[in-house]
Amino acid sequence: MMEEMLKDKVVAAYKKIQDEICQSLELADGNIKFEEELWTRAGGGGGRTRIFQHGNVIEKGGVNFSAVYGKLPDKIKEAFKVENDEFFACGVSIVIHPVNPFVPIIHMNIRYFEMDEQTRWFGGGIDLTPHYVIDTDVRYFHHILKNTCDEFDASFYPKFKKQADDYFFIKHREETRGVGGIFYDRLKPENTGLDWDQLFDFSLAVGNSFIPAYTELIDRNRDTAYSENELEWQSLRRSRYAEFNLVYDSGTKFGLETNGRIESILMSLPPMAKWVYNHKPAENSLEAISLSKLIKGIDWA
């Protein structure tokens, strides 16, 4: 596949995935339509920001597409260890914060990055952040991801699952952001044994796993009763999500360093969060049990 053809195919396919996910979320929520803002980046390129707010299921969420190009800042060049400063980056990024505390937060990102014929790769991942960890839901989620990975390489799921555990880790809290999923970066033929077409197909398969994974979890939990106590815990867990995204998330850092659109970059933050000094859940409570499962290395599949 020629270089320009790959870029064009990635852009068209990622836009299609954004469209399909937005349609499915509107259907799953039943009372929400996304707000779209088309934007351009001063340095080159632009995107489609689509925001969901005040729905039956979704309190706040975003399903964003971007395709940007231009010159990399020196700090990013140093991090990537490259000489060339011309880049192209395309991706779909999703974060959904639900109304009901028993419906989990979900994040997904698929992306393609290119500087030249030698310096290009696919990256991405999808992970789940429940306020309350429901084992059957987590196993279902990981089962879908494992099946998706196994279609391409049986080594992908265990490797990318470990990378998710390591990446989505809040070091200053010594806890994982949620129950993980898969995370991968810099996938190319040299380190996977797959050609560019197969890597492209894998990226699309990850993107297409979002709808069956999340709509099922919505259906399972959207009508679960909750009280002020559960809403308080939801606000506390949202604060941990915000801490990770502002301190550690590489996508947030890349967007800020390359003068990305700030509203699109920070759409991942929850609509409301709470920080309570030295909060500790009651022993044997659902909150304490959930907190005990925010660790690396659990074999959910």
The residues annotated with a catalytic role in the active site are: 107
Distance, in Å, from the CA atom of 179 to the CA atom of 158, rounded to the nearest integer, reads: 14
- Tell me the pTM: 0.93
Count of residues for the chain?
Answer: 301
Please write the tens of the pLDDT for every residue from 81-115.
Answer: 666 778 899 999 999 999 999 999 999 999 999 98
Cβ count within 10 A of residue 228: 7
Distance, in Å, from the CA atom of 222 to the CA atom of 99, rounded to the nearest integer, reads: 8
CATH code given to domain 3-292: 3.40.1500.10
Comparing 67-76, 222-231, 266-275, 282-291, the range with the smallest average pLDDT is 67-76
What secondary structure does DSSP assign to 102-152, as a single string?
Answer: TSPEEEEEEEEEESSSSSEEEEEEEEEE-SS--HHHHHHHHHHHHHHHHTT
Give me the pLDDT at residue 4, please: 57
282: exposed, middle or buried (Cβ count in 10 Å: 0-12, 13-18, 19+): exposed
Please write the tens of the pLDDT for every residue from 154-174.
Answer: 999 999 999 999 999 999 999
pLDDT band at 256 (very low <50, low <70, confident <90, very high): confident
Distance, in Å, from the CA atom of 272 to the CA atom of 261, rounded to the nearest integer, reads: 21
CA dist 109 to 12, 82, 118, 169, 235, Å?
16, 24, 23, 17, 24
Mean pLDDT of 278-301: 96
pLDDT band at 273 (very low <50, low <70, confident <90, very high): very high
Comparing 106-120, 235-249, 283-297, the range with the smallest average pLDDT is 106-120
Q: Inform me whether the pLDDT recorded for 76 exceeds 90.
A: no
Q: Inform me whether the pLDDT recorded for 43 exceeds 80.
A: yes
Distance, in Å, from the CA atom of 215 to the CA atom of 18, rounded to the nearest integer, reads: 15
pLDDT band at 2 (very low <50, low <70, confident <90, very high): very low
Give me the pLDDT at residue 141, please: 98
